[in-house]
Amino acid sequence: MANDRMKAKYLNPFTDFGFKKIFGEEASKPLLIDFLNALLPQTDKIVELTFKNNEQLGQTDLDRKAIYDIYCENEKGEKFIVELQKAKQNYFKERTIYYSTFPISEQAEKGEWNYNLKAVYCIGILDFTFDDYETEPEKSEVVHTIKLKNQNGKTFYDKLTFIYLEMPNFKQIENKLETRLDKWLYFIKHLEDFQTIPSIFSDEVFSQAFEKAELAKFGQTELANYENSLKIYRDLKGVIDTAFDEGKLERSIEMAKFMKLENEPIEKISKYTGLTKEEIEKL
């Protein structure tokens, strides 16, 4: 198994290291802008992005920290949180809603203020599927775009948008890709398996993406960090996928214990398990 993994030419974008290498570095901005623009309507295209501090503190000591994979702002002051979710976890939707409150509350101005907010987008790339839809057609959907709406389906507030990408539901093959988003989803889902660059990825943006993802270009330190990230991803995903049982505390504890053995930061363990810092330190 280890030999098979070492034969990979490109990194796994579902690892923390791989995701940030492709989308979260300063040099990766053209890739992130292109990916986000593929998700947004034509009228909302991003021209420039600025990375922001990805750690947001609550207003009191009782509030938990929110640590985002990627947190950025466009030239209009609109906020974008991009999160990679590797496997199911307790209160996943609640966690996303909670994260969205920080880019909203940080816009508050001192003194008299008219409450005119900039838009906030929360984007989740899911390496799993939702399992609580009742109708069969929805189960095969890849992109879920969610806004606040009233009882008649009319948008009540259009400046808070949640976009979830269910990657396991994306099953298009290379010669059936139609949109820019199709190409990005195909790239993310199959990157680790590519041995050569498919002909559909012929433009400059994807050429840069493949160059950043090529393991042969990594130095020893980067390669060691990636291999560690890959091990954590596969072991952690195995633990979560086989042990996950929504609402049961012991599953979160099991995952937290594993992450502590891997010397993961307390804040990260809290993010993935929903446990508090105090609960984790007691394990």
Tell me: the pLDDT tens digits for 40-74? Answer: 988 789 999 999 876 665 555 445 556 788 999 99
What is the model's pLDDT at position 86? 78
Residue 66, SS3 per DSSP = strand
Q: CA-CA distance, 22 to 17, in Å (whole number)?
A: 9
What is the model's pLDDT at position 19? 95
What is the model's pLDDT at position 262? 74
What is the model's pLDDT at position 65? 57
- 130: tokens are 């939702």
What is the model's pLDDT at position 93? 83
Q: CA-CA distance, 61 to 48, in Å (whole number)?
A: 34
Helix (H) or strand (E) holding 93: helix 92-105
Nearest of 125, 96, 90, 100 to residue 273 by alpha carbon = 90
Q: Provide the CA 282 distance to its chain's centre, in angstroms.
A: 29
Tell me: the pLDDT tens digits for 252-269? Answer: 777 788 788 777 888 888
Nearest of 36, 162, 149 to residue 97 by alpha carbon = 162
The ranges of the chain with pLDDT < 70 are: 1-6, 54-66, 89-90, 131-139, 238-251
Count each helix (H run) and each strand (E run) in the chain, helices first: 11, 8
What is the model's pLDDT at position 113? 81
**pTM for the complete prediction?**
0.80
